Every structure is written in C-alpha cells, then in structure tokens.
Amino acid sequence: MESRRSFIQKLGVSAVGLSGALGHTNVFAGNTSIPNNQTLKVAIMGLGSYGTRVAKAMKTCTRAKITGVISGTPSKITAWQKEYDIPEKNCYNYENFDAVKDNPDIDAIYVITPNALHKDQVIRTARAGKHAICEKPMGINAKECEEMVQACKEANVRLLVGYRMHFEPNTVEVIRMRKEGELGKIMFFQGQSGFRIGNPNQWRLNKELAGGGALMDIGIYAVNGSRYMVGEEPVWVTAQETKTDPVKFKEGVDETIQFQLGFPSGAVASCLSTYNMSYLDRFYLNGTKGFVEMQPSTGYGPIKGRTHNGPLTEPIVTHQTLQMDEMAAMIYDGKEPIAPLDGEEGTKDLRIMDAIYEAVRTGKKVNLG
C-alpha cells in the first residue's frame, strides 16, 4: 500500500503547498511530477469578500498570480492595483471585460460574483478565449451549467469550479481511504452544512441573484461532499423544507432543507442545509470496516476529524493557495485532483440540487437518470 504522502503527492497536493504548511523548504525536493512551471495569470472578477480572501491567499502561490481585475467599483480597482501591482491595462469593468481577449497578461478569469451572474460571465470568459474558474454554485440550475460547459468546449478552454475541499489534505486522505477499501463497503453518509445568515438585505437572500437560498450557498457542500465521500452518483432524492422565518427567507429562498440521497450500491445519505443554525459543518461516513467523522468538514480550516484508526493528521494548508497552484498544474500539466472539479462535475451537483428542489415542491421521491 502506498504511503499517505506519496499518494497525496501523486493526486495533486503541490510540493510547495504542503511544504509551506509543514514549515520545510521542500518536502518533495527532486519530485519530477510537475513537468513545467508555467504561471497561471489570473484576473479576479468580483472584488467582494471571497474574492479578497482568494487574492490574499494567492500572495503565496507559486504557480498562480493575480495579473488583472474585473470590477464595477473604480475605488476597489485602484486599491487592488496598489496591493497587487496591477497595471491599468489589466483592469476591466463588467461592460468591457470581453476585451481581455487581446490581453496576453491574462490566462484565466476567476468568477467570484453572485451566483446568478456566473453563467453569462463564464460564457463571456470562454468567448474571450480565457480559461474560466467559477465559484460554487457553478450556475443556478443544471441547464445553465450545461450551456457553460458547451461554451467552454467550443472555445477550447478549461472550466474549473472553486471546490477547494478537493485539494484539502485531510479530505484527500479520507477519499484515499475510501478508494483503497479501508472503510469497507460504504453504507451511509451524513452531511450537515449551515450557518446563521445575518443582514436580510444581502444578495444571498435575493432569489434573483442567489438562485435559491441555503442549498445554493452552503448546502451544496453536503451535496458535493456526498459524492466525493461515498464515491458514487446518487440515483434518487427525497427532500423536505422547513421555514421558521418567511419574512427573512422569502418565496424561493430556502432556509432549511433536509434531503436524502440513494446510491446504486445501496448506500444512503442524509443531509441538512440551513441558513439558520450555527456551527453546522459536519461530515460522517460509515462503511462496513470503519468510519470517518469530520468537524469542521468544509470551513476554511483547520479541518479536523477522526477515523476508526484515530485522528486525521494531514497538514493544515490555506485552501485557496493550494487550490490555485493545483489549478495551474491542472491547466498546464494535465494534473487531475483526486475528486474532479471541472464543469461536468459542477453540473452534476446542480442536477442533484434541481432534484432536491423538485422533491421539496412535489413531496415526491425524484429519480435521477
């Protein structure tokens, strides 16, 4: 059996991402699995709270660099130019960013705007001949995602979704354990994802911009997690919604949804998505030979957990730093993460979420093709 480290190394955790976390100069010195060092030159679109977090994390990237910005707020552009040394010619707004087509300083656009804007922005990115990195949820339904995948295919550019957990070392270790049979046959997954949302006027509580409520924003972690933890695609969905505050959570904006997924092997998942409970960030996976419990499981970290063998002890990393270095290696070196995160994968999550909303609406079990 492979050692944990060599497995992680093969699967996509960059030497630098880990060595930084371990405080070593280079734990994988001599590693030849990274064939070239081409830097991914990224323009960030949407300079809000998560865009800012990504940008700060990218300061320590070795393969990815911020070279441009796209924003509707001139004062933010000026501040970012200063902080990230971005020349005027690499600054765009939402009206003129198609001109990025002729800018060799930008290889990819990272779309970090409200959910309902992702589709058009990714399609415009593709038509400008640039790779698209898109925040979750990739779109607000599967149909949008399919159009996005098609546009990126036609333009021959990559479409990657910002699923940072797919690179997180403890998560990668759990997926390795499951893949190598250390948990036996997987029987059950529980994913609980939620937080108490504040300001009632934010875009997350506006259906037009958010596409839904908690499920779109945070419940998606349980949806996506159920797929990489169980290692199968669900074939049926049931779901129930509860709403305690219909003023804050208007029509089409879900506060709390419980949903269940059934998998071809007979494994089942029981999940909860909410905007009205604190400290809800827990994954539990049960197999015939073992279990994994992670809490927190998808927050910014440190991710903590234990298995039937004891605590998870993989290195603590800055998720977004690792993600961007690894995405550069995906785009330039053909490297792939242990759990894929391209446009087709983002689409699969939205297909499940469409089915969850349908199950809530009809009260019926929804079969997935």
Which residues are the active-site residues?
Answer: 136, 221
Contacts with 262 (C-beta within 8 Å, 6 or more apart), sequence order: 234, 235, 236, 237, 268, 269
Nearer CB in complex with ligand NAD: 112/350: 112
The CB-of-118 to ligand NAD minimum distance in angstroms stands at 7
Nearer CB in complex with ligand NAD: 164/335: 164
* Number of helices and strands in the chain (H, E): 12, 15
Q: Is the dihedral of CA 113, 62, 102, 129 positive or negative?
A: negative
Q: How many whole angstroms separate alpha carbon 138 and alpha carbon 122?
A: 9
The CB-of-72 to ligand NAD minimum distance in angstroms stands at 6
Q: How many whole angstroms separate alpha carbon 247 and alpha carbon 15?
A: 49
Nearer CB in complex with ligand NAD: 207/308: 207
The CB-of-164 to ligand NAD minimum distance in angstroms stands at 6
Would you state the structure tokens that stand for residue 84, as one six-digit string?
């990230």
Q: Which positions touch ligand NAD (CB under 6 A)?
A: 46-51, 72, 112-115, 117, 135-136, 162, 164, 203, 209, 217
Q: How many whole angstroms separate alpha carbon 172 and alpha carbon 179?
A: 10
Residue 169 half-sphere exposure toward CB, CA atoms < 13 A: 26
The CB-of-168 to ligand NAD minimum distance in angstroms stands at 11
Nearer CB in complex with ligand NAD: 158/164: 164
Q: How many whole angstroms separate alpha carbon 254 and alpha carbon 193?
A: 13
Nearer CB in complex with ligand NAD: 34/112: 112
> Could you tell me which of 103, 105, 133 has the C-alpha nearest to residue 121?
133
CB 191 within 8 A of CB 226: yes
The CB-of-323 to ligand NAD minimum distance in angstroms stands at 9
Q: Is the dihedral of CA 312, 317, 320, 323 positive or negative?
A: negative
Q: Tokens 């415009």 appear where?
A: 124
Nearer CB in complex with ligand NAD: 72/129: 72
Which residue's CB comes closest to ligand NAD? 48
The CB-of-229 to ligand NAD minimum distance in angstroms stands at 18
Q: How many whole angstroms separate alpha carbon 318 and alpha carbon 282?
A: 19
Contacts with 315 (C-beta within 8 Å, 6 or more apart), sequence order: 18, 21, 22, 169
